[in-house]
A and B are shown apart, each in its own frame.
Chain A
Amino acid sequence: MTVKPVKNHLISTKWRFAIWCLLFSSVVIYGVNLWQSGAKVQSDILAMLPHLQQDELTHNALQQVENRLANQVYIAIVSSQKDTAINAAKTLINQLKQDPQQAFSQVTSASDSNINELGKWYFDHRFKLLTADQQDALASKQLDGLIAKAQQQLYSAFGFANSQMINQDPLLLFSDNMLALTASSSLQQEQGILFNQQANQTAAIVIAKGAQSAFNPNAQQQQLAALNHAFAAMAGSDVQILKAGALFHAQAATESAKQEITFIGGLSLIGVIILVWLGFRTLMPLHLALLTLSSGFVLALVATLSLFNELHLLTLVFGTSLIGIAIDYSFHFYCEKLSQPQHDAYQVLDDILPAMTLALVTSSLAFIGIGFTPFPGMQQVAIFCATGLLGAYITLVLAFPLLANKPLKPSSALNWAQYYLHFVAKLSAKPTINKIIFYVIGLVIFAGLLQLQHNDDIRHLQQSPQQITDEENQLRQWLSGGTDNQFILVSADTEIALLEALHQLTPTLAQAVNQGELTHFFSLASLLPSLSQQQKNYQLQGLIYQQNLPHIIDQLGLNDDSGLLNQSLQSAYLQAQPANLTPDALLALADTALKDLWLTPNNNGIVGAIVLLTGINNLDGLTTRINHTQLNDAKVKLVDKVGDISHLMGQYRQFTLVLLLGVLVIASVLFCFKYPLKLALAVIGVPTLAIMLTLSSLGLLGSPFSLFHALALILVLGIGIDYSLFFAEAKHTSTGVMMAIFMSATSTLLAFGLLAFSHTNAIHFFGLTLLLGIGYTFLLAPFITLITRKTH
């Protein structure tokens, strides 16, 4: 690597600059071209989540469940007057439907399925339906009770017994069956509007399905505009509006990401300007630093876009941190120039290039390490930062010799650096202080590491503003319980076996409800008896239609002098024998929400059914219960995507720590060849100690260790090695290096450290770790001069 600058001497500074200009203009042209051919900024938080490995059926099930909820906006209009709420909901629906941009493809309240058709379908299959009580009565051949019950219904003016009904169902068994098929809920419906009443308040519920993903920035804006416009139309009425949906989370995420880019980027830029002015008393280095940064940024942007065809908004947030490292190069250059005023830009470059190249390689290695994580977003960050650094490096090598040749005024900053190094030297000369520091560090590390805990739950990572979560919880109450993210997937080879399995599972889940593990569950079993049960029910009803029909007709006083009724009932019974209640027929009549619970056979011919769960209180208990459930000819499992991803995050956290260890080992081997053993160990020891201190500080701060902490540690290692390398490579004097390290550490802290103030937990963890890690590295790195002095 050190051969390169010698070669470069052959090319004149002007030629170098020409090459640089050519290179970057072509990169810019390529980038513009990419942008016009449809590259986009992606702000979908979900795109950052890792891909899970699943079997096909589970994958389909997850997709169906996610599609149910995806892009849906739920709105509750709460008012003390029912009419007010319903009218406001009607206005809202009309407004949303009339939206010129058609932001929502579907705006509904009450469901669209045809109740009459469904009722008729069940009635047509009445010979296959019996309630448990009816089964008992027929099995024990106790017809009298059933006849008495029918008679009672006939007398009631408030019942539904009428001539049409008794002529087809003389014992009026159907009504009880319908009641048994019914689930409880407090939701009601009027004038096509779904609503719920609680404590004298009425909430009308409107569901709008976005035409495009809520995470698409344009669609997001359109949908919000449509909603706001519609809300404005309701402004006159005295209603409270509650809303929930991914849209509002996405909006909050986009807004906070935008704010943070402005805030963190702005603050770090201002900080860096002040820093440069204080250090060099001229803003000339800043111009060149900006050039380095912008060329690095452009290269990073184009490289990311060409590889991923989109730029994640989170990449940009992390990317602002690139400032911190890229600017190091120009700082290093200027500090060296300041301390060697007699050298021209060429010679300065020669002096620092070996350290710079090594630094580039190690930093890039660290970033590429981040790229090994399963997060598409983090892979982008890795590519973005690595290419950004390369861009900055190329600019330094090619453009600086021509542009930065102007001599600098002497600055007092070098003296401060000198003082600091003297202080370090003095400090280390006193063995008692050394010992004390040594023990304190040891104690801190020991105590901190003991305290360190880890948490891989991804719900912990993304936190929407409290207000949105509160509103969502309020809305959930009105919706009489929200569907949880977890669900149960039952799969079998045939639909018959699957339905049977769902019925087998029902008692298990009912027991789970009894034990408080969850509040409610819903499966198709509650709407369909199993095939064997249907056949049993049919046989039981033979007692009515084949053995006792004349008796029943007589007892009830049915008008059948001609015997036609007897005949028609018997033939209806016989004709009904082959037709069963099947899931397909039910789903054809039901609305889409129900259809999503049945998975069509996949390539292996396996069918699946989803059991929806509501209000899980004890996920572990439920998972154990489901795992211990054995079904005949069917498999059952609890699908918990959030849990699975969290588990995966845990695995990658460990993987990252191993990676960290690996990089450390490789770096020590490399440095052992280049430097004397003692120096090599020091170069590696500084970042290692910094990492240990960071870990223990995190433990003391009570920040649970996660993948994002681990990722930041890789950066700490990369930057830490940079710092110690600069010191180790400093040939003549360390003051220039000390100043450069001070400036770059400060700028890095300004850029990365500020991420600690992010509201997104993932970014906050990343920033906090870097803040600590870079801080410790900065304090520790100067001690390397003690070793270099002795060796030189």
Chain B
Amino acid sequence: MNKPNRITRWINTLIVIMQCGLLVLFLLLLLSQFSSSQAAEVTPQQTTVTSKHEALSPPASLAIVFNHPASEQDLQQLANQVSLTHENTQGLFEQTRYLAALKRPLTSRGTFAFNPNLGMVWHQQAPFVTTMVMHKQQLTTIDSKGNITHSAAKSAQAANPLMQQVPELMQHLLSGDVIALQDDFSMFYLASNTNNTELWSLGLVAKDPLLLKALGKLIIEGRQQINRIVMLNQASTQQADRLDITDIQFKQVNHLPLSAENAAWFDMLNITPAPPITTENSRSVTTKQ
């Protein structure tokens, strides 16, 4: 075996870990939404962002959830709600990144789709067009000029103790086993009963310091379905209170068959339905069209 390669693999890991980790976490969390069977069919053309929801609390204020460690009972209740009955999940997203180093927040929006066999499409439409397709262990990025970049999440995953957590997380979430997440994460739970529907937020703090550094603190907010994910990362080593905040909101989520546009992304990369957890020898290749 070729030991020195491992070193380079670890280095790679540092870079791709967040991409993979967060992507997978997203998939899972999205997947575990509850259904709203009456949800209107949404096509990628219908990208008008509706803001019929009540005013959202500022993302940083969500951190209050971390004052409330989750009890077994809380998690059990949540686990009962998180049931997985849907093949597909698709909808719109609106994302705002508040990076401490930047003058202005970066706002983007687009569509997403998830299928447990095919993977996930994250299609950003504004302010510029770019698409990420994650299939099995490979992340493909197609930029606005049509340049395609493949990066093997697997090689990043190689020999990295952190990335290995992600598939496990997936399993736990797929089986609705929120309890099992406690092995790797400190859990926080806060629910406020307003308007008959309970608004809850679940806070996840990785127990492993390296994983924490890579993922940051995670907050998932939901009511009838998960509708918001907030990530809090420390922006400066000196000032602990300076934060990079990523705030993603999901809208018009449905569980209908994949729209033609979303299916086309998978087709383009020759992705056909297959069991999600099989592996292949993939390598980093950059191709230009």
Using a CB–CB cutoff of 8 Å, the interface residues on chain A facing chain B are: 74, 110-111, 113, 115-116, 118-119, 122, 152, 154-164, 166-167, 175, 178-179, 181-192, 194, 197-200, 205, 479-483, 520, 522, 524, 526-527, 556-559, 590-591, 593-594, 597, 612, 614
15 contacts between A and B (CB under 8 A): A111-B7, A113-B7, A115-B11, A116-B14, A166-B99, A166-B102, A178-B12, A179-B12, A179-B151, A181-B8, A185-B2, A186-B154, A186-B158, A522-B4, A557-B102
Find out whether the CB atom of A158 lies under 8 angstroms from the CB atom of B22. Answer: yes
CB-based closest 9 A-B pairs: A190-B164, A593-B3, A184-B283, A182-B12, A479-B1, A163-B235, A189-B159, A115-B10, A163-B101
Nearest neighbor of A187 in chain B, beta-carbon distance: B158
Q: Which residues of B contact A166 (CB under 8 A)?
A: 99, 101-102
Q: Is residue B242 within 8 Å, beta carbon to beta carbon, of the partner chain? A: yes
The answer on a CB contact under 8 Å between B4 and A597 is yes
Contacts of A557 in B (CB 8 A): 102-104
Task: Give the residues in chain B near A182, CB-CB below 8 Å.
Answer: 8-9, 11-12, 155-156, 284
Interface size on B, residues (CB 8 A): 68
**Among A162, A192, A612, contact of B99 (Cβ-Cβ < 8 Å):** A162
Interface check B246, CB cutoff 8 A: yes
Interface presence of B106 (CB below 8 A): yes
Within the complex, what minimum Cβ distance (angstroms) separates B212 from chain A?
A: 13
**B231 at the binding interface (Cβ < 8 Å):** yes
Given contacts A158-B22, A164-B236, A557-B103, whether A194 and B132 have CB atoms under 8 Å apart is: no
Most-contacted residue by chain A among B18, B102, B124, B158 (CB, 10 A)? B158
CA distance A626 to B286 in the complex (A): 29
Would B11 and A118 count as touching, CB distance under 8 A? Answer: yes
Interface pick from B49-57, B190-198, B261-269, B274-282: B274-282
The interface residues of chain B lying within 8 Å CB-to-CB of A192 are 161
B160 at the binding interface (Cβ < 8 Å): yes
A166 to B103, CA, bound (A): 13
The answer to whether the Cβ of B19 comes within 8 Å of any Cβ in the partner chain is: yes
Give 16 A-B pairs besides A179-B284, A181-B12, A183-B9 with Cβ atoms closer than 8 angstroms: A110-B6, A111-B7, A113-B7, A115-B160, A157-B22, A160-B17, A163-B102, A163-B244, A164-B235, A178-B11, A188-B157, A479-B1, A482-B1, A483-B1, A524-B4, A590-B4
How many A-B pairs have beta carbons closer than 8 Å: the answer is: 197
Q: Which of B121-149 contact A (CB under 8 A)?
A: 122, 124, 127-128, 130, 132, 143
Task: Decide yes or no: A594 and B3 within 8 Å by CB, A154-B99, A182-B12 being known contacts.
Answer: yes
- A482 to B3 alpha-carbon distance, docked (Å): 10
Interface SS, B side: mixed
Residues of A within 8 A of B100 (CB): 163, 559
Taking CB atoms and an 8 Å cut-off, the chain B residues in 1-34 that contact chain A are 1-20, 22-23
Question: CA A558 – CA B6 in complex, angstroms?
Answer: 36
B14 contact set on A, CB distance < 8 A: 115-116, 119, 160, 178
Residue on A nearest B96 in the bound complex, by CB: A157
Which chain A residues lie closer than 8 Å to B8 at the CB level?
Answer: 181-183, 526-527
Is B117 located at the chain interface by the 8 A CB criterion? Answer: no
Specify which chain A residues have a CB less than 8 angstroms from the CB of B23 in the assembled complex: 158
CA A224 to CA B160, docked complex, whole Å: 31
CA distance A205 to B235 in the complex (A): 38
Contact (A162, B235) CB under 8 Å given A122-B11, A182-B8, A183-B8:
yes
Chain B residues near A116: list those with CB within 8 A: 14, 210
Tell me whether B18 and A159 are in contact (CB under 8 A).
Answer: yes
Q: Which of B101, B242, B246 neighbours the largest number of chain A CB atoms within 10 Å of its CB?
A: B101
Contact (Cβ within 8 A) B95 A111: no
Contacts of B236 in A (CB 8 A): 163-164
Assuming the A-B contacts A110-B161, A159-B18, A597-B4, are A559 and B103 also in contact, with contact meaning beta carbons closer than 8 angstroms in the complex?
yes
Check B108 for interface membership: any CB of A closer than 8 A: yes
Residue pair B155, A184 in contact (C-beta under 8 Å): yes
Does B73 lie at the interface of the complex (its beta carbon under 8 Å from any beta carbon of A)? no
